[in-house]
Amino acid sequence: MPNVFISYARADQQNVEQLVRALRAADIHGWLDATDIAAGASVSSEVREALRRSSAVIVFLSHSALHNQWVQFEIGAAEALGKAIIPVIVSGNQLEQEFPDILKGRNVIDARDRPYPTVINEISQALKHSQ
């Protein structure tokens, strides 16, 4: 059962929560800031620790995510820690033009207007290959 770190922008929270529920149904458990950081806890410390414990990082991408300071930090930290990074596009057009260098040239999963079971299967396969 993979333990993944979920990186996303709060603007995409509704869509991401649906994908996270589908991931959990497929026995893929993800750390999600909205549910896994206790009130009063240091956000940056919690994020760093969750990244260290994760087997991989799933980055849900949108225009909002690509311009979000936390998402950028999480991608960079994942790269520095040698974590597998699995980019998943959840909304937006021509996002590849906005990708940070770390994501350029990576194979991306496109979740836009696709059935969740298909997307979850692709994420699951990517996680298997990243181990």
Distance CA 89, CA 55 (A): 20
Query: What pLDDT is recorded for position 109?
Result: 95
For every one of its 131 residues, what pLDDT tens digit does the chain have, with 9 covering 90 and above?
568 999 999 999 888 888 888 988 999 888 877 778 778 888 888 888 889 999 999 999 999 999 999 999 999 999 999 999 999 999 999 888 889 989 998 999 999 989 989 999 999 999 988 76
Under DSSP, the state recorded for 102 is T
Distance CA 37, CA 22 (A): 21
Determine the residue type at 130.
Answer: S
Domain enclosing residue 35, as ranges: 3-130
Distance CA 91, CA 42 (A): 30
Domain containing residue 86: CATH number: 3.40.50.10140
- pTM to 2 decimal places: 0.91
Number of domains in the chain: 1
Query: What pLDDT is recorded for position 2?
Result: 64
